[in-house]
Amino acid sequence: MNLDFLRLYGETRGFSLGLPQQPTILADGKRVLFLRAEPKQPSLALFAYDLETKTERVLVTPETLLGGKEGELSVEEKARRERLRLTVSGVTSFAVSDSNAWLVIPLAGRVFLYRLADGRVMAPPVQGAIDPHLSPDDRHLAYVKDGDLYVWSLADERETRLTEGASEHLTHGLAEFVAQEEMQRMRGFWWSPDASRIAYAKVDTSALERFAIADPTHPEKEPVRFRYPRAGRANAEVRLFVTSIDRSARHEVLWDRAQFPYLARVTWAKAAPLCLLVQTRAQRHEVLLAADAAGATRTLLEEKDDAWINLDRSSPLWLADGARFLWVSEKIGAYTIEVRAADGQLERTLSLPGLHELLRADHEAAYVLSADARAALQVQALPLDGSAPRLLCDEAGERTVSFCRQHALFAETIATRERYRRVIVRSAKDGREVCELPRKNLEPPEPPRLEWQTAAGMETLVIRPRTFDEKKRYPVILAVYGGPHHNHVVPMREMYLREQWLADLGYIVVAADNRGTPRKGRAYERAIAGDFSQVALDDQIAALSALAKQVPQMDLDRVGVYGWSFGGYMAALSVLRRPDVFKRAVAGAPVVDWRDYDTHYTERYLGMPSENAAGYDRSSLLTYAKDLKAPLLLIHGTADDNVYFFHTLKLSDALTRHGVAHDVLPLAGFTHMVPEPEMLARVWQAIARHFDPLLTA
């Protein structure tokens, strides 16, 4: 078993190191800023690419800012990076000021301001700053330190503390755990357009349970403690305040927090009011509110859904003049974009087959991602007057897109079935390619052998060994995720390199996107409401059966299954409930009992435990522990603060009490991710060894 490829995969972070990251086109349309690492060095530096001369230059490296010493990150910053799934160091993020004059660069608990005109660097003497943002007028820098909100004046280099009273359970200006992990709201404060005020979240987690993560290899160290909201239990109390930066005035923004406890979105756009999107705990009802100067709120619109409401990260999107805003809705069963007046009145509804995400808008068009019939994403311009959409790129693939402020250009990171990821700058008018940003990443030694198919009404993928012999029959491994808001079958070749390594050992590896996954419409996604255990598992088995008819070399008497996170849950569920189909399983970081997972995610799909006890019981792996009849390997990082290690311990304990043999591989000190090359190789070695008996059965 050759582990060299797996080590290389880990060293290159899946061959992504060396790719441009976070491409940001400056407002003048002449330069693109991006982050990039060396091919085997997981430390990012900041570059600028000149679109006219087609040349790049380095702007900032960790060494130039810190003198080679990155420093120690705070517990809070480490947690933010975990929420962002960051496995690299160095300059991991930057922000361009509204004027495009300054860059804000957080690094090792400090903040650096880089002036684009001449390269001047300012470094406020602040340690432990979190989430820094420059004011719209470039005069003040706001950040959170030790749980309180501060501003620093660029003119007189003076720091002002705006809030007081932070404690172990009370913070000002930081997003709470479920906002970061589940709502895609990483921010906890927002500048007013005139730069005179800041809206900030005041978060009280005192009612939450305290979870401790200890380092089992160093029992002498104190555990790190987090406040965690388990399903059906207390949530953080979140309030919204507005303060002037001279501390002369402060008021609370008021809404019915008893009915709408979740603060899901806050926007404060130019020429628009302070807006907040609030949700009921059940996430079946949400209200978009506008706040006035005294903190009173009025309703702009409401959304309701019998199952749950998906949060759109771009809504509301205000147009530059503040006269209208765009809103994404699923109320008709598919995504549409509503053009609404400033008072919330509906003016027009825009529809597009497969509409997936609103990206940006100007006074003429909304720019969106849409999914084609095979769930690949395309960029389209959707005119606000209701006329025909314009396809800006006919290359279907998996992509993320960012527009420059003037909307004339956009940068897309795109992978397709035929090509690995690259970053392309295009014209927003017609999709014409302007350039490809320079990349230095290594490419895999050999491309994977991938076949995208439709089976049993699902998008599926088949990965054969490179030495495939059509006269032989092969054991099958199902690579599964199966959970909400994630597609496991996408046109992205590099995503399946480890699966190809596994297939080359002598398996046919397959994957399927069952009901409950996105890009197939409201009904397809919401088929799992109230129960994680039945529909997804039935669909995966149906996909296996259908694929075996298309690929007769698949031996369905020798089927293994593996997955991570929700996929780990699905892998364990599969072997527990259907040992007639699945003969061996590897479950990485599985959620074992959904009563132990967080509120905003779990209750969205299963409701409250007190109201759907049967659904929680059916969805719990503990319910079926006594039924395990096939080999199961559990793998889990002991420092995981997303799916805590106690999930695996609970299942292992239940299996042991029922006298059921199983294996557990604890990863000491690792979180929900395993980026370290040697450990990654050893984990996949353990996975392969667990499935070895399928080869000789």
Among 565, 574, 619, 652, the active-site one is 565
Residue 316: is the preceding peptide bond cis (ω within 30°)?
yes
Structure tokens that stand for 136 in this block: 């719209």
Beta bridge partners of 226: 211
Among 488, 640, 641, 647, the active-site one is 640
CA distance 578 to 534: 11
Structure tokens that stand for 437 in this block: 């940003």
> What are φ and ψ of residue 670, in 5° steps?
-90, 150
Quickly list DSSP for 261-304.
-EEEEEE--TTS-EEEEEE-TTSSEEEEEEE-TTS-EEEEEEEE
CA nearest 553: which of 455, 473, 449?
473
In total, the chain counts a number of residues equal to 697
CA distance 589 to 592: 9
Among 488, 600, 662, 672, the active-site one is 672
Q: Would you say 667 and 635 are in contact if contact means Cβ atoms under 8 Å apart?
A: yes
Contacts of 531 (CB under 8 A, 6+ apart): 606, 615, 618, 619
Rounded to whole angstroms, the maximal C-alpha distance in the chain is: 80
SS3 671: coil
Structure tokens that stand for 88 in this block: 């690299």
Structure tokens that stand for 677 in this block: 């090359």
Active site residue 672: yes
Q: Would you say 182 and 601 are in contact if contact means Cβ atoms under 8 Å apart?
A: yes
CA nearest 96: which of 172, 192, 24, 13?
24
CB atoms within 10 A of CB 541: 22
CA nearest 633: which of 583, 678, 690?
690
Tell me which amino acid residue 425 is: V
CA nearest 79: which of 155, 176, 206?
176
CA atoms within 13 A on the CB side of 628: 26
* Full 3-state SS string of 547-597: HHHHCCCEEEEEEEEEEECHHHHHHHHHHHHCCCCCCEEEEECCCCCHHHC
Active site residue 692: no
Q: What is the phi-psi region of residue 408: left when phi exceeds 0, alpha when psi lies from -120 to 50, beta otherwise?
A: alpha
Q: Would you say 24 and 423 are in contact if contact means Cβ atoms under 8 Å apart?
A: no
Q: In what order do the strands lie in the sheet with 262-267?
A: 262-267, 274-279, 285-291, 297-304
CA atoms within 13 A on the CB side of 691: 29
SS3 696: helix
> Measured in whole angstroms, how far is the alpha carbon of residue 232 from the centre of its chain?
24
Contacts of 168 (CB under 8 A, 6+ apart): none
Contacts of 549 (CB under 8 A, 6+ apart): none
Positions marked active-site: 565, 640, 672
